[in-house]
Chains A and B, each alone.
Chain A
Amino acid sequence: MSELKRTPLFDEHLAAGAKIVPFAGYEMPVQYTSLMDEHRAVREAAGLFDVSHMGQFHFRGPQAAAFLDHLTPSRVSAVPVGRAVYTALTTETGCFVDDILAYHVGEEHFLVVVNAANKKKDFAWIASHRAHFAIEFDDASDRGALIAIQGPKARRIVARIAEGFDGLAVKYYRVVAGKIAGHQAIASRTGYTGEMGYEIFVAAESAPAVWKALLAAGAEDGIQPAGLGARDSLRLEAALPLYGNDIDETTSVLEAGLEFTIDWDKSDFIGMDVLRHERETGSARRRVGFEIAGRGIARQGHRLFDGERDLGPVGSGSWSPTLKKAIGMGYLPLEYNLPGKTLEVEVRGRRLPAVVTPMPFYRRPKAKKKGA
């Protein structure tokens, strides 16, 4: 087995007493104090995540946008500078090589963030499709750090130590450049928790200082460092798919319920014909959310049943700290995509009753208008 890598923030995690686990080739913090505490901090105040393990690819050149238009179902070329788009690297069958975020950070320059576990695969996939495109493509994963600050207090905390950002009150999926605690940074209003927040790109050598500055700036608001454990329970409550659990090379973009990433007016992208056909004939199954009606927790790989009919595996399943019940997602035949429909999950030889539930399981309260 190859040596595990460390992010530029590894020493910060150790100093904070984090429990470290191997994840996607990295030694990563899974929790600092308790998953529940960290989860609650993000929902009620703010949490700080090290997501530097994720891959960062740069696409530069006159055809960078056209190339991303070919690789993804989205019209990346229509995304103006200063905005980001969530989309997929699609297979020839309209499934997922990966799900990605593409940030239009400058003229003819996109920064694409990919899943840590898929870095090598994505790099090879992209390289094998670039033949006719005039682009420069490089993997900057080891040079850059990525810090996510998420939660209702995130904006005010960042504002205390930010300078030069053209208004941090940016809208969802905007990307702005400036300085945080004196370090060059790119901040985007994106995240993986269902809360308001930013993902902040800094150089690897700036990461520890920025991390410490954000924790200090947020101390009075109750900011906490949050690990992979809370990240997973937060994203599940928000019904955001996790690659390898909820989407992969066998689940189509339509089955996954991510049709919003597809621009049907495009004339070309990998997997387009298969997805068009699926759209016309209808998907056989759909990513559906459920909750357990009783005691017990469904987890990845447990089977979903309707009587004797095996409906398929649970993709993601966990306890929801916010809703205080067990929730999960899996692919079910279309007739089960109906809130209230009852199912069963087999957990260690026992059948637990489950009910199909609308997604997301959790939606953050709308921010109060000033003066309201």
Chain B
Amino acid sequence: MRMPRSEDCQYTKDHEWIHRDGENAVVGITDFAQKELGDIVYVDLGETDRAIDAGEEIGTIESVKAVAEVYAPVSGEIIELNEALADAPDLLNSDPLGEGWLMKIKLGDAVSLDDLMSFEAYQRFLEEEGH
């Protein structure tokens, strides 16, 4: 997969990034999120080809020390899961914006990413949260 630039992604308060490419989008977790979680050992995102609603809990990421929920950043349909994570969940630590992507989503009708944060807004959000 071609690696998006941080500046070209939108961000959620749950520390996920989403990168739009036409009617589809790729979703992952941010570098901040992987650092907070530490060494990741399991990624469980359920099945592909299913509809999801923005804000819905759609899976979990588990590190040695903690477990974190993954939330749908937008509504749409999961069309592909990153199967490489099953054997190499540490890709989420080593390359969260590239090889460690989580899923591809087909965006629903009239789905806009405008409510999500830009890269600059996400940086400010991290600062405001005291990180």
Contacts and interface: CB of A to CB of B under 8 A. Distances in A.
B64 interface: yes
Contact of A297 (B38, B62, B93): B62
B60 A297 contact: no
Given A296-B62, A297-B62, A348-B60, A35 B67 contact: no
A149 to B, nearest CB: 22
A297 B67 contact: yes
Contacts of A34: 38-39, 93
A30 B65 CA distance: 10
Contacts of A290: none
Contacts of B49: none
Contacts of A297: 41-42, 62, 67
Given A34-B38, A296-B42, A229 B65 contact: yes
Interface class of chain B by DSSP: strand
B44 interface: yes
Nearest to A34: B39
Nearest to A30: B65
A233 interface: yes
Interface in B31-76: 38-39, 41-42, 44, 60, 62-65, 67
Contact of B38 (A31, A295, A348): A31
Given A31-B38, A34-B38, A229 B44 contact: no
A141 B67 CA distance: 34
A318 B39 CA distance: 12
Contacts of B93: 34
Interface residues of B, number: 12
A229 B63 CA distance: 11
Given A297-B62, A348-B60, A36 B67 contact: no
A191 interface: no
Contacts of A299: 67
A295 B42 contact: yes
A321 interface: yes
Given A35-B38, A35-B39, A321 B44 contact: no
B42 A229 contact: no
Contacts of A30: 65
B90 to A, nearest CB: 8
A319 B44 contact: no
Contacts of A229: 38, 64-65
A351 B93 CA distance: 28
B38 A319 contact: no
Contacts of B65: 30, 35, 229, 318
A233 B65 CA distance: 9
A321 B64 contact: yes
A319 B39 CA distance: 10
A34 B40 CA distance: 10
A296 B62 CA distance: 8
Interface in A305-329: 318-319, 321
Given A34-B93, A35-B65, A229-B65, A319 B41 contact: yes
Nearest to B38: A35
A34 B90 CA distance: 11
A233 B60 contact: no
Interface centre among B39, B42, B67 (most CB of A within 10 A): B39
A233 B38 CA distance: 13
Nearest to B35: A19
A297 to B, nearest CB: 6
Nearest to A347: B67
A36 B39 contact: yes
Interface of A: 30-31, 34-36, 229, 233, 295-297, 299, 318-319, 321, 348
Interface of B: 38-39, 41-42, 44, 60, 62-65, 67, 93
Given A34-B39, A296-B42, 9 more contacts: A30-B65, A31-B38, A34-B93, A36-B39, A229-B64, A229-B65, A295-B42, A297-B67, A321-B39
22 contacts: A31-B38, A34-B38, A34-B93, A35-B38, A35-B65, A36-B39, A229-B38, A229-B64, A229-B65, A233-B64, A296-B42, A296-B62, A297-B41, A297-B67, A318-B64, A318-B65, A319-B62, A319-B63, A319-B64, A321-B64, A348-B60, A348-B67
